[in-house]
Structure 1
Amino acid sequence: MTTAPAPAPSPAAALSPMLQRLAAERATGALMRDRGTLYLADGEVVHAESPATPGIDVLLTRGGALHRDGWWDAVAQAGAHRRVGRYLVDSGRVAGGALELCHLGALYDAAFFALAPTRTPARFRYGVAHWIGPVRPVPVHAVQRETLRRRELLDRIWPEAAGDSAPLLRTGRPVDAPVPPRQQRVLEQVDGVRTATDIAQELGRSAFHTLVDLRRLAASGLVEAAGPQPTGPAASASPRIELPEVTADPDVALLRRLRDALEAL
């Protein structure tokens, strides 16, 4: 009598077996990977951050939902208590629906990069919470499913991923049809130095949706990655991004974030 083979793991589960396990045990803490960090509470994703994406602060302020001074006031008043999101709503600075929409956008955006393939083991810090506080938790399976959907969408638009992380150049080729305004704004930022992440930060826009526009521009022959591109396994590996240390002390985390923001001014 033969034993039936064990079922293969689903594509979503293969994104991060550790994340799948943490969801099953309803863990709370921070899952740190090469390109970002996922924050969990009771096994659900409550926030995500990646250096490859604009944070929720950029999306709120550059999108016009919140004045920059209002953001820093919320951080100063509620960051140490991990209730920045709640403070923004209770103080009337941001409508609850607008905050949820922006937070979900930032979460899915960062999770897409945080769950990128990597050869480096992930780490989990139990008990760590993000200073944004509770907004709307998202089940792990929903985050994984959306990440896979986004990967497939990018591949359908243009299968070459070299331009996702490299500096980008305009090709100078003639345009057969008018470039849509959204793509035109992205194209105007392509200067041979900026990467997709740089462009997203400059425009205050989702990094993933910036990639969508750039891949469409690449498919139209209007942009390309600058310099020679690697071949073989190195070409498909995502570059490692040095992440800031995740700490359970909200005061230390807050001071570091404030310091970095002030130095960037």
Structure 2
Amino acid sequence: MSGATTKRPGNDSLGPDLEGRLGAFTLSDLLQMIGYTHKTGTLTLIQGWNTRTITFERGRITYVAAGSRLPTLIELLVRAGRLSGRELEQLQAEHPDEESLLTHLLERGRIVPEDIERCREQQLEVAIYTLFLWRNCRFTFRAGECLYEDGIPVSVDSLQLVLEGTRRVDEWIQFSPVIPSVSVIFRRRKVERPIPPELDTIYQQVDGQRDVATIAREVGWTQFETARALYRLYRLGLVEAVPPNRVKIIELFTLAVESIYLKLVLFDYPRVALEFEQQLNRFAQQHGLRVRMASGRVIKTDRETPLSSTELIDLYKLFIAIQNNKFHKLFDPVVANGLMEGLYRHADPELQQMLRMYEFYEIEGLFPRRPTKASTSSSG
């Protein structure tokens, strides 16, 4: 069973019970209103092709899903180096679901509760806290209709989530002139000054190549914590922001989408390849990109697009993440992983590093299918 939906009684063609656009309402307003009225249902947020669904049960947030695949706790443990990909493969047969595997790892002393708490915080950041930064976002709420598919469960108190999300927005506004995106790269400055002990972990990761998001993954911190530390290092004059290489970013995206198209054709999925091409062109048009694709080749790039390098990265990452999520549902792991395998294996070291950094290529491969929450269906 891949997921479950509890539908409200009545006609499925009924429209949403609440809809609008963030601006007149903030996300905090919406979450608090649903919480205070103890509503059960699903809030859908749509910002371009970026989507998120938040499920409530009697006013409590219980589940979050996205158009792109949200990381599981096991995936985050692997990324943090607490568990190897090979070890995970060996344990999957005996412990096929996430809860069983986590219990086993705790009992064997392979991880400690603090490791899980750290990963849960990273999950919440990706799934919920980033939503407080969304602008020009449409929303709908359907009462009595709960979605539990392709997402992650949430157990943190909803009011706590709202307070923490609001606090982070205030700090991000302070960071934004220096760190407008987690795709910003930092390098060390040649100054002789002691490093504050609490910032040394992040300072040691600054190399002029890795961005905020990559450094966060390397040290197991949240992106917010990492950005705050880098901002403090910047204010101390110890590091400086480096604009990403625009030419390399465009080259990377061009190679990635052409590789995916070619592999889909070679795997005998020409219709999916055509749909991929059409979706790229539609995505580009709707998000102000100039890149266009025809017959599997990129015929126009974003060299002259009036968007910053970090804005390009964020949009490229979003498109690839949405497509990868779809491919993981459509195909078996051999096909899904193979769409970028050839490009990664034959790319130069710099492009390989960028493919990993921007998560175009999942070096660890697919992770266990996340467990879903069972529910019952009622009819009127």
TM-score, structure 1 normalization: 0.63
Residue 115 (str. 1) matches residue 132 (str. 2) = yes
Residue 15 (str. 1) matches residue 30 (str. 2) = no
* Aligned residue in 2 for 1:252: 329
| 1:43-192 matches, cutoff 5 A | 43-47=60-64, 56-63=73-80, 65-69=82-86, 71=88, 84-90=97-103, 92-94=104-106, 97-98=113-114, 101-110=117-126, 111-122=128-139, 127-130=146-149, 134=153, 137-154=155-172, 158=175, 160-170=177-187, 172-176=189-193, 178-180=194-196, 183-192=199-208
Which of the pair has more CA radius of gyration?
Answer: 2
When residues 29 and 76 of structure 1 are mapped into structure 2, their CA distance, relative to the original with a 3 A threshold, is farther
State the distance in 1 between where 2:92 and 2:56 align.
Answer: 21
Moved more, 238-247 or 57-66: 238-247
State the distance in 2 between where 1:169 and 1:40 align.
Answer: 37
| Equivalent position to 1:27, from 27, 35, 41 | 41
Does the 8 A contact of 1:39 with 1:48 survive in 2? yes
Q: Return the offset for 1:106.
A: 2.2
1:88-134 CA deviation, whole Å, 9 max, x = no partner?
245x1236945751453123322222331322324679543255765
The letter of the residue matching 1:196 is: V
When residues 164 and 122 of structure 1 are mapped into structure 2, their CA distance, relative to the original with a 3 A threshold, is same
Moved more, 144-153 or 184-193: 184-193
Does the 8 A contact of 1:54 with 1:205 survive in 2? no
Residue 40 (str. 1) matches residue 55 (str. 2) = yes
Moved more, 105-114 or 209-218: 105-114
In structure 1, list runs of 5 or more residues that go unmatched.
1-12, 229-233
When residues 192 and 46 of structure 1 are mapped into structure 2, their CA distance, relative to the original with a 3 A threshold, is same
State the distance in 1 between where 2:167 and 2:119 align.
Answer: 19
1:60-107 CA deviation, whole Å, 9 max, x = no partner?
23445444345456777887xxxx4322245x1236945751453123
Does the 8 A contact of 2:54 with 2:65 survive in 1? yes
The letter of the residue matching 1:87 is: S
* Aligned residue in 2 for 1:8: none
Moved more, 60-69 or 138-147: 60-69
Q: Return the offset for 1:214.
A: 1.0
Does the 8 A contact of 1:44 with 1:137 survive in 2? yes
When residues 204 and 103 of structure 1 are mapped into structure 2, their CA distance, relative to the original with a 3 A threshold, is closer
State the distance in 1 between where 2:330 and 2:33 align.
Answer: 27
Q: Return the offset for 1:146.
A: 0.6
The letter of the residue matching 2:232 is: R
* Aligned residue in 1 for 2:225: 209
* Aligned residue in 2 for 1:231: none
1:137-190 CA deviation, whole Å, 9 max, x = no partner?
12332212111222334556x5634354343242624143x2145533433443
When residues 133 and 120 of structure 1 are mapped into structure 2, their CA distance, relative to the original with a 3 A threshold, is closer
Does the 8 A contact of 2:216 with 2:223 survive in 1? yes
Q: What's the Cα RMSD here?
A: 4.7
In structure 2, list runs of 5 or more residues that go unmatched.
1-24, 245-306, 342-360, 364-380
| Equivalent position to 1:225, from 241, 245, 255 | 241
**Secondary structure at 1:128's aligned position in 2?**
strand
State the distance in 2 between where 1:69 and 1:224 align.
Answer: 37
State the distance in 2 between where 1:98 and 1:254 align.
Answer: 35
**Secondary structure at 2:329's aligned position in 1?**
helix
The letter of the residue matching 1:139 is: D
When residues 33 and 163 of structure 1 are mapped into structure 2, their CA distance, relative to the original with a 3 A threshold, is closer
* Aligned residue in 2 for 1:5: none
Does the 8 A contact of 1:27 with 1:41 survive in 2? yes
When residues 246 and 174 of structure 1 are mapped into structure 2, their CA distance, relative to the original with a 3 A threshold, is closer
| Equivalent position to 1:194, from 210, 213, 225 | 210
State the distance in 2 between where 1:129 and 1:73 align.
Answer: 28
When residues 59 and 153 of structure 1 are mapped into structure 2, their CA distance, relative to the original with a 3 A threshold, is same
Structure with more strand by fraction: 2
When residues 16 and 130 of structure 1 are mapped into structure 2, their CA distance, relative to the original with a 3 A threshold, is farther
